[in-house]
Amino acid sequence: MPDIVSFKFEGKLASENRMDFYEVSRFQYAASRLAVKLDHFRRNGNFPDRVTRQANMEIDLRPYEVGSFVIEVVAPALAAAAPLLIELPLSSLWTYVVERVFRPVEDDNLRQALSTQRELLELFENRIAGQEQLMQRTLDLLMETRARGEALSDQNNELYERLLAETTRRAYLEGRQDELRQISDEQDARLMKMATPLLKEMSVPLRRSAQRAKILVGDEKGQIPILSANRMQIEEVELSVVDPEIQVVLIGIVQYNKETGWGRFRNPEWNGLASFSVSADRKDRLRRDLLEAMDLPETYVSAYYVKTPQGENLRLIVVDIVDIERAEAGLPQYDL
């Protein structure tokens, strides 16, 4: 059964099955380059800087759908795509890079959206705030509201779509941890550096053509959402450059959210509390160590640095907990 990745644009011209020619062309150029590079990566373990005729694999485009503007990309089924060095469907790699590039919903985002409907905000404060599985509980609240036939504000509809995509994306990756371990840390770093500028091109059609962009993955039997974002959320990616070198850093972990994989840490060279994240396919393996590290004054982690284009530190992407004795025995530390 073919592997399908769909891009759906909603609102503005897209709701009339129209798109600005320049904007959709810019997006399709970036999306096609990313699709070909991801396909080349699973076949060879690397990807070309330039997409040539030799690098272009069997990835087809289906006719656009009527309604909200939908672009479907179809790749051969996993069994038909052999030989593969990394046995993963193309949809898994799309999910993998989206998880690493886009920032998840945070508490402030929840309250900002829910504040547009007083009753929902009160239910959130009384039943959900401060509890575990905060994002899932908030999603359930919005789903229950929709199921009763009650209208959500535009902000809460956006929140619902975003939370749904994030929870299904995390569940998808958590269920494929073993397969995703085929990707080494070095390959992980190169994938992120390559994918980030191409994924941020999704913001271009959100200038005039649409209000929201979505990515869905699956097959002919059905698809799941892995991203739902507005222009501001996608343009935040433009501020981030992932340092491809993994570094060992000594940090004091202050907070860690088991559900989203995001936390905060202290380090003398950072101003105040800084952020770190752990991708969904690594969360289960690192959860216990990260929670225990909160009781320690300092912990060594191996991580990527996410920086501004000017080189200022934004956050860390944690890859693993490093044994202190091993670190002190000679592993390099990043000079902040």
Report the C-alpha gap between 218 and 75 in whole angstroms: 11
Scanning the structure block, which residue is given the tokens 């619902």?
160
Report the C-alpha gap between 142 and 134 in whole angstroms: 12
Q: Which two tokens stand for residue 273?
A: 């509390």
pLDDT reported for residue 298: 92
Q: Which tens digits make up the pLDDT trace of 184-212?
A: 888 888 888 899 999 999 999 999 999 99
- The candidate with the shortest Cα–Cα distance to 74, out of 28, 26, 9, 6, is 6
Distances (CA, A) of 105 to 68, 109, 282: 24, 6, 19
Q: Which two tokens stand for residue 158?
A: 């956006």
Query: Beta 313-321 vs 299-307: how paired, if at all?
Result: antiparallel
Q: Which two tokens stand for residue 274?
A: 């800084």
Q: Could you give the percent of the chain with pLDDT greater than 70? A: 92
Question: What DSSP string describes 187-240?
Answer: HHHHHHHHHHHHHGGGGGGGTTT-SEEEEEEEETTEEEEEEEEEHHHHHGGGG-
Query: Is the pLDDT score of 335 beyond 50?
Result: no
